[in-house]
Structure 1
C-alpha cells in the first residue's frame, strides 16, 4: 500500500510538472509573439489572456498618447467598437428575464411610428431585420449637412424620410446592421425607463465590477475621452489623432452619438471581469446564456451564416459563433472604431478567454489575435499565420513617390507572386480615394483606373473612377463612368444625383 501511494504521488508530481511546463511554454510563446509585434511596432495596445478564470498572460505595448509619449498600461482605456453589441444584447435579455418584453414582440409595439411593422426584437438582435443601415440613412444627409452629429433619436425619422422597403423580408436573410442595435438601445431606455448610459452602469458594469468602463455620451467630460490613432493616408503611412477629429471619418465624427452598436470604453481587465460575470451567470440566467450563444435561425429554419476574417460563423444574440468546433465551442466579437481595434474571444469548452485592444489600427492586430489562440489552444486553428504583404499598398506608395510607370511596372513584376503578396479590391479603391482626397489627382486617376480594369464587375470601381475624372475636369468621361456604375447598381442614389448635376451644368 505504501509503495502504491508513492507511485501515485510520483505520477501526480510528474503530471503537475508537465502542466507547469506546458503553461510555461505557452507563456513563453505568447511573450515571444508579442515581443516581436512590439519590436516591429505592429501592435499598439493591451492584451489579456486567461484560462479557467485566471490570467495566464497580459501585456501593454506602445503609446496611449503618441504626442505626450504616454505609454499604455493596465488601466488604459480603449473604445471597444462593436464588442459593445454584446452588452446591448445582455441588456435586452435582462429585460426579457424580468418579463418586460418578449423577443418575439414587434419593434413597432414599443415605437408605433416605426415603418417596418413586421420586424421583431429578435430580428434586430440577430441582424435579420433587413432595415437600412447608417450609410444609406445618413451619408446623403452628411453631404449636405457636414456638421451634423447624429444620435439614436434620429434613426426612426431618417427611416421614415427614406421611404424605402427593407433590403429583404424580415427574417429571411442575415445582414450585419449597426442601426438595429441603436434601435435596441432606444428599446432598453423605453422599457427600463432609464437612460441607456445609466442602465448599462447599474445593471451590467457595476455588478460585473467594471470600474473603468463607461458609455461615451455628451455628459462625459472631454478629459475622459480616449485617444485613438488611424493611418491618415495609407500610401504615406502617417498616423493621425482621431479623437474629436472633425470630418476625418463619418463614423467617428458625424455618427459618434449612436449608442448600442458601439461607443463603450473599457479596459482589458474590466472586460475580463465581464467575462467572469457571464461565466458565473451573474448577469443572466443559465438558460438565457444558452439561448444567447445558440445559432439564430431564419424563417426557413436555416441557421444564420456569416463569413469573416476569423472564419465562417453563425450568429447568436450579440455574438458570432464559429462553425469550426475542432478546438472547442468558440464565441467571439470583434470591434472597430476609427483609431481602434478590439477582439474578444471565448473558448467555452476549455474556459479560455482572449482580449486584445489596439488604439492605432496596427498592422499586426489580426496576426496577434489568430496566433494568440493558436498558441493557447496548441492547435493550428487559424492556419493563415504567414501574413502576406499588400501589393496594392506597395503600388500606391510607388505611384506617389515615383510615378505611374514605375508603379505599374513593379505591380506587373510582382502580381504573380501570390505566395508573398495579396490584392484586395476595396483596398485599392480606398488608396485611390485617399490620393484623390489629398489632391494627387493624376496618381488617383491611375490607381482608380487600374481598379476598374482589375475588377470590371464591381459597380463601385466605376463610381470612384468617375469621381476622380470629375475632380480632374474630365466631365464627359465621368458621365460615362457614373452611367456604368448606375447600370450595374440601380440603387446608387448618390451617383444619380451627381450625374444629374453634371448633365444639368452641361445642358445635356
Structure 2
C-alpha cells in the first residue's frame, strides 16, 4: 500500500509539472498574441529633401496667384480654417484664419488640428495598403476570414477600399429605432454586430456597382485592429503619425476628447454638437493639420511606399460601370479626362467640418484646405491645380 501511494504521489507530481509547464506556455502564447511587437509593424517612411529646390522667383510667382485666388474665394479673410500649397514638399503658401472657438476667440494656427472628415479615409487606406504590401493580409481576401461575424461572404478588402461592397451606410440603418437606440453611442463593433444580427441586407450585389459608403471604412478600421492587435488609434500612431513626425495629428477618442477638440459650426457660426455617430472611426475622426498632411502626402508618394503592382491598383479607377470622368481607386477619388490627364483628391464633410486633399502626383504638388465652419468653398481649392499642370480648372470661373 505504501509503494502504491508513493507511485501515485510521483505520478501526481509529474502531472503537476506538465500542467504547470503547459499553463506557462499557454500564458506565453496569450501574451504574445495580446500585442504585436512594434518592430513588426510596416511603417510609413518620410520623404525628405525633395529636389529640385524651388527658386524664390518661382515661389513668389505662385504666391501672387494663390493669394489672388484666396482673396476671391474668401473675401475679407473669411476662411475659418487653414490652406496650404506645396511643391516638392516645400511650402509655397499657407494661410490660417478664424477661430477654433467663436466664444473664446482662440485663433486657428499652423498647429491647430481640425477634423479631416472623409479625408481620414485616405490615411485608413494607406495603413491597409501597408499591411497588404507586407503580406499580412491580401487585397482580394474575404473580410469574413478576418472578422468572423461579418455576414457578407463575397465582400473582400478590395471592395471595401473601392466602395463596391454593396453594404448599406451605417448612418441610415442605425438611425432606425428598431435597429439602434440613438441614446447610445454607436461604435465600429456595434456596426458589425448589427449587420450580423439584425438582418441588414446588402444594398446591391457585391462588386456590381460603385456606391460610396462609410461602412466600408468602419470595417477597414476593425480589420486594422484585428491584424495589428492594436487599437485603430494606436495603430495610426505607430504606423503613420510617429514615423512621419505628424505631431499634431490624432484619432478622436469620444470619451476622452469630446469636450476638448475644436468644435464645428454651421455657416452662421452656430455650434454643432456631437451625436451618437461621433465615436465611429476609419471613415472619419482623424484630426490633423495641413503641415502634417503634407508629410503624409509626400510619404505616400515615396518610391518605396508600396510595391509597383499594388501602387498601380491604388490609382486605377473602379467605378466606371457608367462612362464618365469621375472615378474612385483604393482610398482615393479621381477625375480621368479623355486627354489622359488624371486628377487625384479626396474631399470630406462631417458636421460643420469640410476638407479637401489634393495630390498632383506628376507635378509633386500638394494642396490642402480644412475648415471647421461649414462651407463648400473648401472644395474650390482644386482650381489651384491649373497653376501647376494641364488641369481644366479656371481660377477666375465661379462654380
SS in 2 for 1:33: helix
Distance change >3 Å, CA 375–CA 64, structure 1 → 2: farther
| Partner in structure 1 of residue 164 of structure 2 | 128
Tell me the residue number matched to 1:268: 290
Report the equivalent of 1:239: 269
* 1:86 Cα deviation from its structure 2 partner: 1.0
Distance apart, 1:327 and its partner CA: 8.8
Cα RMSD (Å) of the superposition?
2.7
1:293 aligned to which of 285, 308, 315: 315
Are residues 1:185 and 2:197 paired?
no
Q: 1:26 offset after TM fit, Å?
A: 2.1
Give runs of aligned pairs for residues 140-219 of structure 1, distance below 5 A. 140-141=176-177, 145-218=181-254
Name whichever of 146-155 and 219-228 sits farther off.
219-228
Please say which of residues 93-102 and 270-279 is displaced more in the overlay.
93-102
For residues 144 and 56 of structure 1, do their structure 2 counterparts lie closer, same or farther at Cα, with a shift above 3 Å needed? closer
Q: 1:92 & 1:219 partners in 2: Cα distance?
A: 26
5 Å-filtered alignment, 1:248-267, equals 252-267=274-289
Aligned residues: 347
Equivalent residue, structure 2, for 1:460: none
Deviation at 1:226, TM superposition (A): 1.8
Does the CA-based 8 Å contact 2:358-2:367 persist in structure 1?
yes
Classify 1:142/1:337 alpha carbon distance in 2 versus 1 (closer, same or farther; 3 Å).
Answer: farther
1:366 aligns with 2:388: no
Given that 2:79 and 2:97 are in contact with CA atoms closer than 8 Å, whether structure 1 keeps it comes out as yes
Q: Is the 8 A contact 2:84 2:95 kept in 1?
A: yes
Please give the per-residue CA displacement for 1:140-196, whole angstroms capped at 9, x wherever unaligned: 139973322101011122223442431221111000010111011111111111111
| Corresponding position of 1:77 | 113
Alpha-carbon distance change, 214 to 316 in structure 1, aligned in 2, over 3 angstroms: same
Correspondences of 1:315-464 after superposition (within 5 Å): 315-324=328-337, 328-362=341-375, 364-367=377-380, 369-377=381-389, 381-383=392-394, 386-387=397-398
Q: Which runs of 5+ in 1 are unaligned?
A: 1-15, 232-237, 246-251, 298-302, 389-508
**Under a length normalisation based on structure 2, what TM-score does the superposition of the two structures give?**
0.79
SS of structure 1 residue aligned to 2:144: helix
Counterpart in the other structure of 1:488: none
Higher relative contact order (CA 8 A, sep 6+): 2
Gap runs ≥5 in structure 2? 1-51
CA change 1:193–1:22 in 2 (3 A) is: closer
1:386 Cα deviation from its structure 2 partner: 3.8
* Pair 1:25–1:306, CA change in 2 (3 A): farther
Structure richer in helix, relative to its length: 1
1:187-217 Cα shifts (integer Å, max 9, x gaps): 1111111111111110111112111100001
Distance 1:257 1:112, change over 3 A: same
2:178, 2:293 → 1: CA distance? 34
